[in-house]
Chains A and B, each alone.
Chain A
Amino acid sequence: MVILMAMEDELLESLKKKPVTLRFPYERARPEDRMQAKVTWEIEKCIGCNLCVKVCPSNAIKLIGRGRKAEIRYHVGRCLFCGECVDVCPTKAIQTTKEFELAFTKPEEMILEFRR
């Protein structure tokens, strides 16, 4: 049977409902537990092993100096938030945060440095 409006019932139902979208700046969805966003270093724990630099698929991490004196330069703009560096770190010095609103006004602000 061919009918003119197959979605009629659905559309009438929807008149009673509120919009399903969130009004973003005022309402926020709860982030999932496994969500990965910006990465931070606990630089005291870092032993300068260079593993995170090698594993990073987008060359977002740079090590300045060597060994326990090394400092980290992290390009947020290049990061894919894959979390490979977090998995590979032998001393658990790298953690992911749930900070995903990463808009900056200047390009220099997108490079984060972790110093001792």
Chain B
Amino acid sequence: MVKAIDIPFGPQHPALEEPINFTFEVEEERVVDVKIRLGYIHRGIEKLAENRTYHQNVYLVERICGICSFAHTTCYTQAVEELLGVDIPERAKYIRTIFCEMERIQNHYLWLGFTAKAMGFETLFMYTWRDREAMLEVLEMISGKRVNYGMNTIGGVRRDITGKMVERMEERLNYLEERANYYKKVCTKERSILKRTVGVGMLEPSDALNLCAVGPTLRASGIPQDVRADEPYAAYGEIPFRVVTYDGCDVASRILVRIDEIIESVKMIRRALDGMPQGPIRVKVPKNVPKGEAVSLVEAPRGEDLHYLRSDGSDRPARLKVRAPTLANLPSLRKMLKGVNIADIPIVIAGIDPCLACMERVILVDTKSKKGQAWSGEELWRYANEWYRES
């Protein structure tokens, strides 16, 4: 009988891009249990949002995440528009859809490189990041920026897509589609990738549903769930597309789901550019937002993103709550990590596309000692039990 030992992993670790702490309980090479501890990059964005106007908050929400910034602003502006009762112009809806898809393409290329790096395949990492540049150039051409685009505003979008830009976009899209097909070939044939990913980090479909996994992580377990198809927002109701699923339940399927989503996104952008109506791109909106609550859902590149907004009738929100996709994927990450080898840990963590800065916004302050403290799940659990026993 081998005694289990605990291995701390993070918050600072070369395999992690952002600080998070895992404690792995291992028996020889196998992980038997994982404890995840969060709270290293809490930024207080939700509280800050209450002190700024709805319009200023668009730029704050954009900075929740550097990679899926457009998904967050789309989600936020949709919630505000719902409260205002404003219908945005058709052309603005199409431009939002095109941007959402372009962001998905650049995110998936970035993720592919990140995963390749996690499995030690540096060449693939260099090549995918070079190709990602083609998408970033298009984004920069339309919006003027590479990451935080500043495109969305309450009541529409700020910049239009002109005919000249469409030509350049189509040329880049052809290139990206060709490259995605090439990477698909590489990822299904290359021996080192197959050895590292097939059968690693298994997540059964029933577990994925029970643990509320979202996005490509869920779709790699064979469940066709996608906000774009289930609850269409922007112009997704008018653009036909296929929800990509694979039923391998492992890291290899997560790679293939994302590569196929790139190809699908390229097709969607082409359809959207063909069907894009002429007209205005934004409407004027009042400063004060009527009393009420709104929930908005968006399929961010990493999965389902949720914004809850409550208004008290002033020009500042009374409450903004953000549930980023990585938080929804963490319970299933714990499930995936059980039973893997220590060497497979980085690739399994990379497999859910973690974005911790998006996710961290829970901090508990003890009012008696006035001490701010990030709680671990266990402490919170114990506190909750004690509190119920006393009351």
Give bound CA distance, A32 to B130, whole Å. 19
A15 at the B interface (CB under 8 A): no
Which residues B46-62 have CB closer than 8 A to chain A?
52, 55-60
* Interface secondary structure of A, over-half rule: loop
Kindly identify which residue among B55, B130, B144 contacts A20, using a CB–CB cutoff of 8 Å.
B130
Known: A34-B141, A35-B145, A84-B55. 13 other contacts (CB 8 A): A1-B189, A3-B191, A6-B186, A7-B123, A10-B127, A35-B140, A36-B145, A57-B55, A57-B57, A57-B60, A80-B150, A81-B145, A83-B150
Chain A contacts of B186 at CB under 8 A?
A: 6-7
- Does A4 sit at the interface, judged by CB under 8 A? yes
| Complex contact B150–A82 (CB within 8 A) | yes
A109 at the binding interface (Cβ < 8 Å): no
Interface size on B, residues (CB 8 A): 29
From residue A53, how far is it (CB to closest CB) to chain B in Å?
Answer: 12
Determine whether B142 belongs to the interface, using a CB cutoff of 8 Å to chain A: yes
Residues on the A chain within 8 Å of B190, using CB: 3, 5-7
A32 touches B56 (CB 8 A): no
A-contacting residues of B (Cβ < 8 Å)? 52, 55-60, 123-124, 127, 130, 133, 140-145, 148, 150, 158-159, 182, 185-186, 189-191, 194
Could you tell me the distance in whole angstroms from the C-beta of B206 to the nearest C-beta in chain A?
Answer: 30
Is A58 among interface residues, defined by CB-CB distance under 8 A? Answer: yes
Q: List the B side residues contacting A4 at CB < 8 Å.
A: 191
Distance from B44 Cβ to chain A, minimum over Cβ atoms (Å): 16
A87 interface hit (Cβ, 8 Å): yes
Q: Quick one: closest B residue to A82, CB to CB?
A: B150
Partner of B144, one of A6, A36, A55: A36
Cβ contacts A26-40/B at 8 Å (1 or 0 each): 000000111110000
Known: A2-B194, A20-B130. A7 touches B124 (CB 8 A): yes
A80: B residues at CB distance < 8 A: 59, 148, 150
